[in-house]
Structure 1
Amino acid sequence: MQAAVLKAFGSPLAIETVPDPVLGTGEVIVDVVATRVLAYASEVFAGARGSLLRMPVVPGPGGIGRVRALGPDATRLAAGDWVYCDPTVRSRDDALAPDITLQGWTAGGEGGLRLQRHFHHGSFAQQMRVPTENVTPIGPIDAAQAPSWCAMGTLLVPHGGWLAAGLSAGETVVVNGATGTFGSAGVVVAVAMGAGLVIATGRNEAALAGLARRFGNRVRAVRMSGEEEADRARIQQAAPGAIDCVLDLLPPAASPAQVRAAALTVRPQGRVVLMGGVGTLGGPGLELPYAWLMRNGITVHGQWMYPREAARRMVALIRSGLVDLSAIKVTTFALEQANEAVAHAAAHAGPFSMTVLQPQAPPPAIR
């Protein structure tokens, strides 16, 4: 099969013929029809994100495809089914504290690297081998819809945050860092899950205005200035009452003060979920007042990715129309254009925009 191979950090992707994946028990082989190219993929491939990857590797975090072959432990899947391939692979020998690797992307520590030795290659290839539990049926679609369904990989990240927060219908919530790819997805998912009001924070005025136009009175935009006290006051002024939850999705370049500005707005017994990149590349950590946390019963929850059942929940949100994939602008590239796709994704980052690779040639148009 053909695949895009990263041989060393800082080198371009090489389009090569590599061996087809071999099926094992507890695994599924999927023909990859479409896979998203993250906006920061160029940073990962350059080594600037500190990703834990053994080289050479076929990168790519999950995708949309069709089942080619499956093991004897799969009782509901069938060859030809359209599926989402979840890159969040968990070790199977410790249900309480599993090691995690993001297949084709990074590992969550030494245990994740051990897991990565087997589930090594990602989705920038015509086929990939995926753990059975990481394959989620999405139902019948037209092949032309596969690129849009790649948005699941982005939407699932904040979905995991809202599930961790126990978001209830009617609540007032804050998405801190709402103008980026994952932040804007956080707004989409919060509205779909029934949040009464979403306060969207960020510095990009045009992106904030776009969110407000898209969702009407369900979203209020707050432009952040970088002055912690003033930003906190603006967030509180935007809320009609108490703020129930803050979901932080700020990128690594943001400061802990930007996280704190939003976190300290939650009501007593409120929740703060941390899913961003602040501090992951070094620098100071997040400081929150001990007395404020204790006396107000604040829950602070760190969340990396999402629980296994989240993918099926997201499929239901999309199928019901609560999440509209047609709102996302998708630019597609063939597998041999992988390096161009990585450059395009970096240059066109932002809300409601997605770059997608199509490893399998799309079917000919019906004339």
Structure 2
Amino acid sequence: MKAAVLKSFGSPLVIEDVPDPTIGTGEVIVDVVATRVLSYMNEVLDGTRNYALDLPIVPGPGGIGRVRAIGPDATRLAVGDWVFCDPTVRSRDDCVAPDIALQGLTAAGPGGMLLQKHFRHGSFADQMRLPTENVKRLGAITSEEATRWCALGTLLVPYGGFLAADLRPGETVLVSGATGNFGSAAVSVALAMGAACVVAPGRNEKILDDLVRRFGDRVKPVRLTGNEDDDRESMRRAAPGPIDCVFDIMPPSVSPTVVRAAVMTVRAYGRVVLMGGVGMAGGAGLELPYPWIMRNCISIHGVWMYPPDAASRLIAMVRAGQLRLEEYQATAFDLDHANEAVEHAAANGGPFKMTVIRP
């Protein structure tokens, strides 16, 4: 089969023929039809993000495809089914604290690297092998619709955060990083889950206006100034009442003071979800006052990805019309132009934009 292979950090992807994946018990082979390219994939491939990858490797986290082959433990999947390939691979020998690897992207710790040695190759290829439980049925779609369904990979990240925070209908949410690719997805997911109001802070007024245009007056935009105390007060005033949940998805380049301003808007007994990258590239970490956390009974949830059943639940929300994949504008490349796709994604990573490879 044809694949885009990363052989060394900082080098272009090599488009070449590699052996077809072979199936084992507990595994599924999928023909990849469409896979999204992360806006920061260039930083993964050149080593800037220092992601754990055992090279050479076929990158690409998740995608949309059709089942080619199933193992003997699959009882619902059938050859030809349209499926979402969930890249969050978990070890099966510890249900309490499983090791995790993001197939085709990175791994956490020594256990995650062991997983990556087997489920190592991602979706920038004609085919990929996944654990059976990571293959989620979509129902009937067309090949053209597969491109749009790639948005699941973006939407699932904030969905996992809100599930961890037990977001409930009628609550008020603040999304720190609302003008970014994952942050704008968080706005749409929070509203789909029944949030009464989403406070959306940011510096880009054009994007803030676009969020209001898309979702109406349940979105309350706040233009940030860079002054921590003033911004915190502006965010609180924008909310119609106490802020129940703060969701942070800021990238590594952002100052922790920006994140702290947002986090400390949450009400007493409120919840904070940290899914961003502050501190991952070095520099100061996020400092929060111990007395404020303790006396206000603040719950802080560090969340990486989402629970195993999240993808199926999110697919059901899309099918029910609660989430609109039509919000996303996609630009597609074939596999031979994977390097161009990575460059395009880096230059066009705004809200509701996708770069997709269609092998």
TM-score range, shorter chain: over 0.9
- In the alignment, the residues of structure 2 paired with residue 74 and residue 194 of structure 1 have an alpha-carbon distance, to the nearest angstrom, of 34
| 1:330 has 2:327 as partner | no
Q: Secondary structure at the match of 1:357?
A: strand
How far has the Cα of 1:185 moved from its partner?
Answer: 0.3
Whether 1:81 and 2:81 are equivalent positions in the alignment is: yes
Letter in structure 2 aligned against 1:114: L
The separation in 2 between residues aligned to 1:155 and 1:115, in whole angstroms, is: 24
State the match for 2:52 in structure 1. Answer: 52
* Whole-angstrom distance in 2 between the partners of 1:346 and 1:117: 28
* Consecutive unaligned residues in structure 2, runs of 5 or more: none
Structure 2 length normalisation: TM-score?
0.99
- Which ranges in structure 1 are unaligned for 5 or more consecutive residues? 360-367
Per-residue deviation, residues 52-88 of structure 1 (Å, max 9, x unmatched): 0011000000000000001011100000000000000
* Aligned pairs for 1:89-238 within 5 A: 89-238=89-238
Which residue identity does 2:296 align to in structure 1?
A: N
SS at match of 2:28: strand
C-alpha displacement at 1:162, in angstroms? 0.5
CA distance in 2, matches of 1:182, 1:310: 16
Give the superposition deviation at 1:278: 0.4
State the secondary structure of the residue aligned to 1:117: helix
Give the whole-Å Cα distance in 1 for the aligned partners of 2:219 and 2:21.
Answer: 45
Per-residue CA shift, 1:123-172, capped at 9, x if unaligned?
00000000001000010001110000000000000000000110000100
Deviation of 1:262 after TM superposition, in Å, equals 0.7
- Residue in 2 that maps onto 1:261: 261
The CA distance in 2 between the partners of 1:150 and 1:349, in whole Å, is: 15
Match of 2:28 in 1: 28
CA distance in 2, matches of 1:263, 1:269: 13
The superposition leaves residues 263-295 of structure 1 with CA deviations (integer Å, 9 ceiling, x where unpaired) of 111111000000000001111111111111111
- Deviations along 1:230-260, one digit per CA (max 9) or x if unpaired, are 1100100101111000000000001111111
Q: Which residue of 2 aligns with 1:364?
A: none
In structure 1, distance between residues paired with 2:114 and 2:294: 38
SS of equivalent to 1:293: helix
Secondary structure of the equivalent of 1:234?
A: helix
Q: Which amino acid aligns with 1:327?
A: E
Q: CA deviation at 1:323?
A: 0.8
The TM-score, its normalising length taken from structure 1, stands at 0.97
CA positional deviation for 1:174: 0.3
Residue in 2 that maps onto 1:289: 289
Within 2, Cα distance between the matches of 1:91 and 1:347? 35
Aligned residue identity for 2:304: W
Provide Cα deviations, 1:168-191, integer angstroms capped at 9, x if missing partner.
001001000001110000001001
Q: Secondary structure at the match of 2:144?
A: helix
Q: Please state whether the residue corresponding to 2:271 is helix, strand or coil.
A: strand
Q: What aligned pairs does 1:288-307 form with structure 2 within 5 A after superposition?
A: 288-307=288-307
* Counterpart secondary structure, 1:336: helix
Distance in structure 1 (CA, Å) of the matches to 2:224 and 2:108: 31
Q: Distance in 1 between matches of 2:223 and 2:81?
A: 44
Q: How far apart in 1 are the matches of 2:226 and 2:99?
A: 36
Give the paired residue count.
359
Residue type of the partner of 2:37? V
Q: C-alpha offsets along residues 1-42 of structure 1, whole Å, 9 cap, x if unaligned?
A: 000000000000010000000000000000000000010011
Please give the secondary structure, in 2, of the residue aligned with 1:322: coil
| Corresponding position of 1:4 | 4
Q: CA deviation at 1:111?
A: 1.3
CA-atom RMSD, angstroms? 0.6
Paired amino acid for 1:201: P
- SS of 1:67's partner is strand
Alpha-carbon separation, structure 1, partners of 2:285 and 2:234:
24
Runs of 4+ aligned residues of structure 1 deviating over 4 Å after TM superposition are none
